[in-house]
């Protein structure tokens, strides 16, 4: 009869207690893992959104630009350097950007804006800017005309509710207006007829066309074909001014950008600011963008990059966001801490009960010659069994939902979806695939168990045989 | 040959505010092959005395020698090994490990001592036979009657051939038929194998069989009679 067998049989002696303890460990581990997976998955997705639609995974900048985003901290990329970088196996292209500020005026209204000089084709490939063009807009005339169409009353009402909204595709439009698949054939043609806008993207030679954010277009009351004047300060103190025609309106998920952004081609921006060849950053587009590949690529191309230029990875580009996430992460950890405190109490309750219940048995065993350390070993094994069953079950049961929700994330609809989108999130709840955080939580539970084991071993070493055998 | 010598032993408990003189100057010795009972009113110190002899507790004063070992000189863990090697215990109840079968309980100490398997099984079977439970080896304690459980406890106590067996009121929870059966077995072991038994009891059936009766009162020996064989 080994200690191991004895411990195993003792577990099944009080089946219910073993089950309850294992189950409490199981539920805590399961919920903690699931919660963590969703939380980390949300961060992951958020960063992916921001990185893929704005900053990219890595940028080349002049070393002072990150702290002081002025044109004077821009640089003139030399073509041989760009070629060297583009030759790296993990890099697809390098996109120049010239970003600065200006005052935009249209009619009687003005607004301070971000002017973004871009390579339109490359930017579309890298960030999908072309797909953000507004296709439908429920402006007053569209809403009016649609009220007289033969469409369901519910949709008619919703069209009024969403009056003023713009859409880059039909999916969102259908969700907002409560149009389901089977009605779409009937309703969409009317919407196309009255609410479509003739939006077009920038082409590489168009030095007078601009794209503006939907929010900005509403504020300036500037539509397609309207003229916008940009006034600002040029490179090295020159003055900057230019007239442009609105070619397209884009819908950007983050409102503070949507309300203030103007895109033009990079050479047009250079003309505006009187700085031919100047860029403020170059987005380096990657094939593989996991932390490991990113770091390797950074080290490889870092060799060509000489002062004053630096490579800035996404974490630094989005420092504010990263810090916010870290703060948010703490609240998640506190919740998990509470969950684990609950397990700790559960496990200790069981241990205390078990020790009290088996006092006589322990006294008898020590009387007939079982060494205390052997007895403590047996009890430790029992507890470890209970804990490990719980942890293993928790991990096993968490895997299917975590994997499933990673590949088929829960998708929000309606109000919830809009809320997510307004904050720049995709309206989905993905999970993060198992990784370090699984290990980490298993370690926490094992630490709790080891404390419980230490506690019961201590109790066993202090057993007074005479007292434990009396009554 | 003396197996136990007790020399002016005192045991005082201070657990509560009042101090209790549970054993108050006892000098006794036990020879190999004795079949002795300790009697006396409740609280007279019977259990305390047996605990002291068995090395479960240490006297406040005085000295106890068992099989040549001065118990006060042993460290706590040595004392545990000492009990395993030299003393067999049969308690009033809770003798057996509930999750083990009768055979496993009997073999438990042997496996703590790492006996080879065949030897252990042979000895276990022999012992179960000698307490009349050859056919119940695979039963768990909960499947045995109280008397059968006590017999398994006796078999276990005998396993490593101890110097003597201490039994504190072994029949207290048994009906008279089971008690007689248990006593028959112990008597037989005493007669055939010269196993030394020291009991405490209130039970007249046990007293009737004893060859030596020691009476305690207030922690003192008030009489010590040896009955001559007839
Ligand atoms: N661990 C202890 N702590 C304090 N007092 C104790 C302890 N053990 C025994 N006593 C006291 O010592 C005295 C002797 O007790 P003991 O158990 O030896 O008597 P006993 O003769 O076995 O009685 P019984 O016939 O009821 O079993 C009693 O007064 C008892 O209350
Ligand atoms: Mg007693």
User: What's the pLDDT tens digit per position in A205-259?
Assistant: 888 999 999 889 989 998 889 999 999 988 887 788 999 999 999 988 777 788 9
Kindly tell me if the per-residue pLDDT of A348 is higher than 60. Answer: yes
Q: Which of A280, A457, A376, A341 is nearest to A32 (CA)?
A: A341
Average of per-residue pLDDT across A264-273: 93
A178-199 pLDDT tens trace: 887 777 888 888 888 888 888 8
Least distant ligand from the CA of B24: 1
Per-residue CA distances from A107 to A215, A247, A263 (Å): 16, 17, 19
Task: Return the pLDDT at A139.
Answer: 84
Task: Return the pLDDT at A393.
Answer: 94
Q: Which of A88, A84, A48 is nearest to A287 (CA)?
A: A88
Domains of chain B: 36-55+74-226 (3.40.50.300)
Cis ω for the linkage preceding A195 (within 30 of 0): no
Residues of chain A found within 8 Å of residue B95, distances taken between Cβ atoms: 364
**B91–A369 C-beta distance less than 8 A:** no
**A9–B99 C-beta distance less than 8 A:** yes
Average of per-residue pLDDT across B59-82: 91
Q: Which of A96, A94, A95, A100 is nearest to A113 (CA)?
A: A100
Q: Which atom of ligand 1 is nearest to the CA of A464?
A: 1
Q: Which of A356, A354, A358 is nearest to A370 (CA)?
A: A358
Structure-model confidence comparison of residues A370 and A175, the more confident one: A370
A381-403 pLDDT tens trace: 888 888 889 999 999 999 999 99
A12-27 pLDDT tens trace: 888 888 888 888 889 8
B143 contacts chain A (CB < 8 A) = no
B103 contacts chain A (CB < 8 A) = no
Task: Return the pLDDT at A422.
Answer: 63
B172 contacts chain A (CB < 8 A) = no
Task: Return the pLDDT at A421.
Answer: 67
What distance in Å separates the CA atoms of residue A417 and residue A118, rounded to the nearest whole number?
30
In the numeric block, the tokens 């080349």 are attached to A60
DSSP result, B39-70 = E-STTSSHHHHHHHHTTSS--SEEEEEETTEE
Contact between residue A351 and residue A452 where contact means Cβ atoms under 8 Å apart: yes
pTM of model > 0.80: no
Kindly tell me if the per-residue pLDDT of B229 is higher than 70. Answer: no
Kindly tell me if the per-residue pLDDT of B211 is higher than 80. Answer: yes
Confidence of residue A1 (pLDDT cuts 50, 70, 90): low
Task: Return the pLDDT at A424.
Answer: 58
What distance in Å separates the CA atoms of residue B110 and residue B95, rounded to the nearest whole number?
16
Q: Is B45 in the pocket of ligand 1 (CB under 6 A)?
A: yes
- DSSP letter at A225 equals T
**B83–A369 C-beta distance less than 8 A:** yes
Task: Find, in chain B, the residue whose alpha carbon is nearest to that of A1.
Answer: B111
Per-residue CA distances from A72 to A62, A261, A283, A311, A312 (Å): 10, 21, 19, 18, 18
């Amino acid at each position: 009869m080994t200690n191991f067998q004895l411990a195993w049989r003792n577990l099944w002696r009080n089946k219910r207690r073993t089950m309850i303890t294992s189950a409490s460990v199981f539920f805590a581990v399961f919920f903690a893992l699931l919660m963590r997976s969703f939380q980390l998955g949300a961060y992951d997705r958020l960063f992916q959104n921001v990185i893929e639609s704005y900053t990219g995974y890595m940028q080349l900048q002049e070393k002072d630009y990150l702290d002081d985003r002025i044109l004077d901290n821009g640089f003139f990329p030399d073509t041989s350097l760009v070629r060297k970088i583009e030759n790296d196996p993990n890099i697809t292209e390098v996109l120049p950007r010239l970003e600065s500020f200006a005052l935009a005026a249209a009619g009687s209204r003005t607004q301070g804006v971000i002017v973004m000089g871009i390579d339109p084709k490359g930017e579309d490939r890298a960030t999908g800017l072309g797909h953000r063009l507004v296709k439908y807009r429920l402006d007053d005339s569209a809403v009016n005309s649609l009220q007289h169409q033969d469409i369901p009353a519910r949709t008619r009402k919703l069209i009024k509710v969403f009056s003023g909204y713009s859409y880059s595709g039909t999916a969102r439009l259908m969700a907002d207006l409560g149009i389901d698949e089977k009605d779409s054939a009937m309703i969409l043609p009317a919407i196309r007829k009255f609410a479509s806008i003739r939006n077009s993207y920038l082409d590489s030679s168009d030095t007078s066309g601009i794209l503006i954010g939907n929010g900005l277009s509403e504020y300036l009351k500037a539509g397609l074909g309207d003229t916008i004047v940009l006034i600002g300060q040029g490179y090295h103190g020159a003055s900057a001014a230019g007239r442009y025609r609105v070619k397209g309106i884009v819908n950007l998920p983050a409102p503070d950008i949507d309300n203030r952004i103007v895109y033009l081609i990079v050479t047009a921006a250079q003309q505006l600011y009187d700085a031919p060849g100047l860029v403020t950053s170059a987005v380096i587009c990657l094939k593989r963008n996991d932390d490991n590949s990113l770091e390797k690529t950074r080290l490889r191309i870092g060799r060509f990059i000489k002062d004053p230029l630096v490579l800035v990875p996404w974490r630094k580009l989005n420092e504010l966001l990263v810090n916010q996430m870290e703060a948010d992460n703490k609240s998640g950890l506190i919740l998990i801490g509470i969950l684990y405190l609950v397990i700790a109490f559960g496990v200790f309750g069981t241990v205390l009960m078990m020790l009290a219940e088996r006092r006589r048995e322990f006294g008898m065993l020590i009387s007939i010659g079982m060494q205390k350390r052997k007895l403590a070993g047996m009890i430790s094994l029992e507890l470890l069994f209970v804990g490990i069953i719980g942890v293993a079950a928790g991990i096993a049961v968490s895997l299917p939902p975590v994997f499933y929700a990673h590949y088929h994330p829960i998708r929000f609809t309606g109000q919830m979806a809009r809320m997510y989108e307004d904050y720049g999130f995709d309206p989905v709840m993905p999970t993060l695939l198992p990784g370090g955080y699984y290990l980490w939580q298993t370690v926490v539970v094992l630490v709790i168990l080891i404390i419980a084991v230490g506690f019961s071993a201590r109790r066993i070493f202090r057993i007074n045989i005479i007292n434990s055998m009396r009554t | 040959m003396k197996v136990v010598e007790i020399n002016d032993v005192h045991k005082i408990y201070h657990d509560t505010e009042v101090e209790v003189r549970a054993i108050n100057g006892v000098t006794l010795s036990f020879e190999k092959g004795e079949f002795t009972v300790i009697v006396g009113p409740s609280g007279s110190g019977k259990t305390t005395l047996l605990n002291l002899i068995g090395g479960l507790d240490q006297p406040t004063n005085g000295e106890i020698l068992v099989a040549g070992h001065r118990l006060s000189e042993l460290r706590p863990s040595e004392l545990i090994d000492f009990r395993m090697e030299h003393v067999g215990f049969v308690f009033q109840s809770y003798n057996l490990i509930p999750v083990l079968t009768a055979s496993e309980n009997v073999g438990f100490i042997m496996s703590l001592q790492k006996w080879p398997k065949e030897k252990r099984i042979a000895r276990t079977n022999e012992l179960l036979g000698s307490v009349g439970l050859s056919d119940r080896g695979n039963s768990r304690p909960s499947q045995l009657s109280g008397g059968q459980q006590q017999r398994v406890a006796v078999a276990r106590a005998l396993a490593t051939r101890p110097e003597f067996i201490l039994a504190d009121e072994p029949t207290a929870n048994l009906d008279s038929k089971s008690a007689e059966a248990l006593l028959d077995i112990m008597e037989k072991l005493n007669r055939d194998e010269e196993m030394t038994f020291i009991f405490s009891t209130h039970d007249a059936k046990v007293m009737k069989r004893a060859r030596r009766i020691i009476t305690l009162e207030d922690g003192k020996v008030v009489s010590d009679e040896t009955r001559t064989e007839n």
